Structure 1
Amino acid sequence: MADLIYTDGKRRMLAHLAGQPLKIMLLGAGYEPDAAHAVLADVAAHEIVGEGYAAGGQALQNLAAQAVGAGAILAADAPLWPDSSISARYAVVYDATEGGDGPLLRLFDFTELKTSDGGPFEIVFDATGAMGLA
């Protein structure tokens, strides 16, 4: 048998993260994703600026770890910036416990520039939630 991570172990890892202050921050089109980036300071220079958006992004709300099949997800409410005028290509989830040195957890690639012009900017998570472990 191959090595494995038990399903409940995956859920427990994500449950631990659900107890942390996780935030989601928007990045511009000039950012080049790099798996070697480890902390918020590695991507902070690419954070967007715009009406209705506060530096550092926003806290993820209603975090909950759930087992899904042989995997687990960290579910969260869809982040929303109402009445905003912003453009972003990426979003990054990070642990805000350590401020500017908070570890990066996940990158979302919108595949193109996503824009709001005085209206809502919302990120709707897919089946993998804010984080997922297969």
Structure 2
Amino acid sequence: MAHTAKLFGLVYKSLANKEIDFDSDSLKVMLCTSAYTPNQDTHQYTSSVTNEVAGPGYTAGGVALANVTVTYDPALNALVLDADDVSWPTSTLTARHAIVYDDTPATNKPLIGYVTFESDISSTAAPFQIVWNASGIVRLTAS
């Protein structure tokens, strides 16, 4: 399946304002239905995200990313954010988007990026898993 992954444009503003710390903050991924339309240019915080999925085996707010790493790839002049794949082991849900965000701030939880699946993906009392790209979840490249 072909999925589309993008950064929220205002992630750069959140990074510059020290609202996100990839090394120490708790990063999470939540799932949303097709009724949510990510706006790359105006959505900065989770308060802009609507239509989060609900169902057995899914907790509102999503799951924490485990084993987060931040590395620099000198061959590509890129900062790489990566983490373990995520799973909702026994879930019943239908999702179209995966939203990565910083859960550490008490309010104004900054959005980082999102994946829009090619079509709705469902699970019925079964695992729902996201396997991140082998080159990382986020790559910030200096040109």
TM-score (norm 1): 0.82
Letter in 1 for 2:108: D
The one of 78, 81, 101 aligned to 1:71: 78
Higher helix share: 1
Asked if the contact 1:40–1:100 (Cα under 8 Å) also holds between the matched residues in 2, the reply is no
**2:57 paired with 1:52:** yes
Structure 1 stretches of at least 4 aligned residues deviating more than 3 Å after TM superposition: none
Letter in 1 for 2:32: L
**2:88 paired with 1:81:** yes
Letter in 2 for 1:21: S
Aligned to 2:122: 115
Q: CA deviation at 1:128?
A: 4.2
Aligned to 1:7: none
Aligned to 1:37: 43
Query: Unaligned regions of 5+ residues in structure 1, if any?
Result: 1-12
- Name the CA distance, whole Å, in 2 between partners of 1:46 and 1:111: 18
Aligned to 1:92: 99
- Name the CA distance, whole Å, in 2 between partners of 1:119 and 1:100: 33
The one of 23, 26, 29 aligned to 2:28: 23
- RMSD between aligned residues: 1.8
Query: Unaligned regions of 5+ residues in structure 2, if any?
Result: 1-17
Identity %: 35
- Name the CA distance, whole Å, in 2 between partners of 1:46 and 1:99: 21
- Name the CA distance, whole Å, in 1 between partners of 2:89 and 2:121: 14
Given the superposition, is the C-alpha separation of residues 100 and 27 from structure 1 closer, same or farther in structure 2, using an over 3 Å criterion? Answer: farther
- Name the CA distance, whole Å, in 2 between partners of 1:65 and 1:128: 12
Aligned to 1:10: none
Letter in 2 for 1:30: A
Q: CA deviation at 1:100?
A: 4.7
Number of residue equivalences: 120
